[in-house]
Amino acid sequence: MHVLLDNVGLFRRGFLGTVALTGLSALLALGLGTVLTLFRVSPVPPLRAFGTAGVTVLCNTPLTLLFFGVTLGLPMVGLSGLSYFTLAVLTLGVYTSAFVCEALRSGVNTVDVGQAEAARSLGMSFAQTAFLVVLPQAGRVAVPPVGSLLITLTKNSALAGGFSVYELFSVEKTLAERGYAILTVFLWVSVAYLLLILTISALFRLLEHRLAVAR
């Protein structure tokens, strides 16, 4: 217990860093994932091709390699003013958005085609049909897989610690360098991650219950 009590400031900084990193990356992933989903179901062939290519590349690129590409590549093209935290948010958010897209697209496939056709017969545009008819129903189906993706995102955020972003995994490295027992430090870091994951799981279970359709 003294490891935690003697280093409360470090653990608090690392915990808040992970919360901020996960939260901002999740918002980016949900927004970009929705856009990619619209691209993939769009009636415009170039948009479908772009969405498919983007999802394929991101889903098949190791996250560590993507971190190296963003943190080393963007400064080379003139974007040197971005902080490592911002670069980490971009990397995690863009990477996770591809999987969010696939989860939402699976939900879209469960929506009866007749509903989209009925919306178009009423004169609704593609955007209106998507946002008012299709996506609200697809979102209900996609809640459980999206929750799992955000839990994975929380754990993936530990990679940011290797790229000059201070979060929970960075706490372990700092305390190990100070001579604290590695297993004890790992225990407290694991407890912190567990609290975050249990909180996300509880929120999504509540959301799933609230959005459940009575049968």
pLDDT (0 to 100) of residue 3? 63
* Residue 68 reports pLDDT greater than 90: no
Summarised one tens digit per residue, pLDDT across range 202-214 is: 998 888 888 765 4
Per-residue model confidence as pLDDT tens digits over 96-112: 999 999 999 888 888 77
Q: What is the DSSP string of the chain?
A: -HHHHHTHHHHHHHHHHHHHHHHHHHHHHHHHHHHHHHHHT-SSHHHHHHHHHHHHHHHTS-HHHHHHHHHHHHHHTT-TTS-HHHHHHHHHHHHHHHHHHHHHHHHHHTS-HHHHHHHHHTT--HHHHIIIIIHHHHHHHHHHHHHHHHHHHHHHGGGGGGGT--SHHHHHHHHHHTT--HHHHHHHHHHHHHHHHHHHHHHHHHHHHHHPPP-
Q: How many Cβ atoms are within 10 Å of 170's Cβ, its own excluded?
A: 21
75 and 4 Cβ atoms separated by less than 8 Å:
no
At residue 215, does pLDDT exceed 60? no
Q: How far apart are CA 88 and CA 26, in angstroms?
A: 12
The residue-averaged pLDDT of 62-91 equals 84
Distance, in Å, from the CA atom of 70 to the CA atom of 17, rounded to the nearest integer, reads 20
Q: Is the pLDDT of residue 41 over 80?
A: yes
Q: For 148-199, what is each residue's pLDDT tens digit?
A: 999 999 999 988 888 878 888 888 777 777 777 778 778 888 888 999 999 9
Average pLDDT over residues 7-11: 74
For helices 182-211 and 135-156, what crossing angle results, to 10°? 180
What are φ and ψ of residue 81, in 5° steps? Answer: -85, -5
Q: Look at residues 148, 160, 130, 127 and name the one whose alpha carbon lies nearest to residue 207.
A: 148
